[in-house]
């Protein structure tokens, strides 16, 4: 699964960004955290619908990766473009999971300090 590490780099596209207004929140006004396995590229429509409704999705990509790593790359690229279009957020959770959030939720990312000191090693 370490091959999935490079999939999450966001592409830099030239041109103007489109601003899309999306109504987020389900009809009950609550945000739900939902988990599902990503088995096929057709599952992306369900994921997009849930996120557009205001829900947070955790996807396990292993079932799709077992079939085709190229399909996983295609799915992640499509989800990154979707998330960017709705001003949402996406991040990797370990080697086999992805979290996708609607526009009103942000994923906290720890800033790793950069040090000029050498990294200690075991003697």
Reply yes or no on whether the pLDDT at 116 is more than 80: no
CA distance 64 to 59: 11
More confident residue, 43 or 113: 43
pLDDT in tens, 78-108: 999 999 999 999 999 999 999 999 999 999 9
pLDDT at 19: 39
- Predicted TM-score of the model (pTM): 0.70
Q: Beta 56-60 vs 33-37: how paired, if at all?
A: parallel
Q: 91-109 as b/e, with b when 16 or more CB fall inside 10 Å?
A: eeeeebbbbbbbbebeeee
pLDDT at 23: 46
Reply yes or no on whether the pLDDT at 4 is more than 60: no
Considering the segment(s) 31-107 as one domain, its CATH architecture is: 2-Layer Sandwich (3.30)
pLDDT at 110: 83
- The domain segmentation of the chain, as residue ranges, is 31-107
pLDDT in tens, 5-54: 555 554 444 444 443 444 445 556 899 999 999 999 999 999 999 999 99
pLDDT at 119: 65
Distances (CA, A) of 67 to 38, 41, 61, 71, 117: 11, 11, 10, 8, 43
């Amino acid at each position: 699964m370490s091959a999935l590490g490079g999939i999450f780099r966001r592409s830099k596209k030239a041109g103007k960004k489109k601003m899309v207004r999306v109504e987020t929140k389900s009809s009950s006004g609550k945000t739900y955290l939902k988990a599902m396995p990503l088995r096929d590229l057709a599952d992306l429509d369900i994921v997009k619908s849930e996120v557009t409704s205001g829900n947070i999705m955790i996807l396990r990509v292993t079932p799709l990766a077992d079939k085709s790593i190229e399909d996983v790359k295609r799915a992640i690229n499509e989800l990154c473009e979707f998330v960017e279009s709705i001003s949402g957020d996406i991040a990797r959770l370990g080697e086999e999971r992805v979290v996708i959030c609607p526009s009103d939720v942000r994923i906290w990312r720890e800033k790793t300090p950069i040090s000029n000191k050498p990294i200690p090693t075991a003697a």
